[in-house]
């Protein structure tokens, strides 16, 4: 029972991060499972099975709040499913010794990507939508994001959401809602790939149910919080945590000395604290400026009324 509650808490936190940022449920949850000693392929499989339920809950919540562009979902989800199935098959064929540093390195990269996305890469977005011709690039984006998502235990949101936001053609709330909704199809395909390659015997029902229950409970709250929370601070906080949590696997792989490990953790922690401080000051400055002008102009998030 204690284990179920802990996994539910992990799912709850992961979904709050994902629903608020449009990314990082898999990255956050998989990081927790790896720290607990779960094999990489089993961790990714468990997360994707749980994501089937959380994606439904999250997508429904975003749909009710008007955060979903269904045309974007269609163009993104099918290629993502193909990439997810392929990625699951590849990861399942790797040994634990080979897959652990691969997944940890990929998670660290994604964690750094999340931090950068909500610091130096923040930019205002327009209120345009993707044109029919502009949607074609969603196909290769979906394939790549789906493949990375399955092999890394996460990555669908960091890659898809960040790319869509950087295009400047979708507002943050519609980007997040559309990516979260399309994740259902990707999770189903990746889960099918893992079950085909691994079978169901190696998976833990407690882990999957715990992540699912926690994620479903958090989904409605996350869909609301995306409209009011300082997303930059959440992104920096979650990204830094992911990097710090996975650093030990890489340090163990290269057989680093204790002094090197301690120094690495100190450097990562100091950089993380510095970025969190910057994000806090930047958010407060933007809110003061918005109050003075009577408008909201943050690059992230966009908090206009639904409609």
CB 118 within 8 A of CB 231: yes
At 83 the pLDDT is 92
Q: Is the dihedral of CA 30, 194, 212, 303 positive or negative?
A: positive
Q: Give per-residue pLDDT as tens, 127-161.
A: 455 554 456 778 888 898 888 888 877 778 777 87
List the chain domain ranges: 2-293
Q: How far is CA 84 from CA 44, 45, 100, 186, in A?
A: 11, 11, 19, 6
Return the closest-CA partner of residue 178 out of 53, 25, 73: 73
Question: 229-255 pLDDT, tens per residue?
Answer: 666 777 777 677 778 777 777 777 776
Q: Is the peptide bond before 199 cis (omega within 30 degrees of 0)?
A: no
């Amino acid at each position: 029972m204690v284990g179920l509650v802990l996994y539910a808490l992990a799912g709850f936190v992961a979904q709050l991060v994902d629903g608020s940022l449009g990314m990082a449920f898999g990255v956050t949850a998989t990081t927790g499972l790896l720290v607990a000693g779960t094999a990489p392929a089993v961790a990714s499989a468990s997360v994707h099975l749980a994501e089937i339920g959380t994606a439904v809950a999250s997508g429904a919540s975003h749909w009710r709040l008007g955060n979903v562009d269904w045309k974007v979902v269609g163009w993104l989800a099918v290629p993502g499913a193909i990439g997810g199935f392929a990625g699951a098959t590849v990861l399942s064929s790797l040994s634990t010794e080979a897959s652990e540093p691969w997944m940890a390195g990929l998670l660290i990269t994604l964690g750094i990507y999340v931090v950068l996305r909500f610091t130096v890469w923040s930019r205002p977005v327009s209120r345009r939508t993707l044109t029919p011709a502009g949607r074609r690039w969603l196909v290769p984006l979906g394939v790549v994001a789906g493949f990375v998502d399955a092999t890394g235990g996460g990555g669908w949101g960091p890659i898809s959401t960040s790319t869509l936001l950087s295009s400047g053609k979708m507002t943050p709330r519609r980007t997040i809602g559309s990516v979260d909704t399309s994740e259902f199809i990707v999770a189903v395909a990746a889960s099918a790939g893992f079950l085909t390659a691994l079978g169901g015997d190696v998976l833990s029902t407690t882990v999957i149910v715990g992540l699912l229950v926690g994620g479903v409970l958090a989904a409605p709250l996350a869909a609301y919080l995306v409209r009011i929370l300082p997303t930059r601070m959440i992104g920096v906080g979650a990204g830094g945590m992911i990097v710090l949590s996975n650093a030990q696997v890489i340090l163990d792989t290269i057989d680093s000395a204790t002094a090197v490990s301690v120094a690495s953790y100190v450097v990562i922690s100091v950089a993380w604290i510095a970025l969190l401080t910057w994000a806090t000051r930047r958010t407060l400055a933007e809110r003061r400026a918005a109050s003075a002008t009577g408008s909201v102009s943050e690059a992230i998030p966009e908090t206009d009324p639904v409609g």
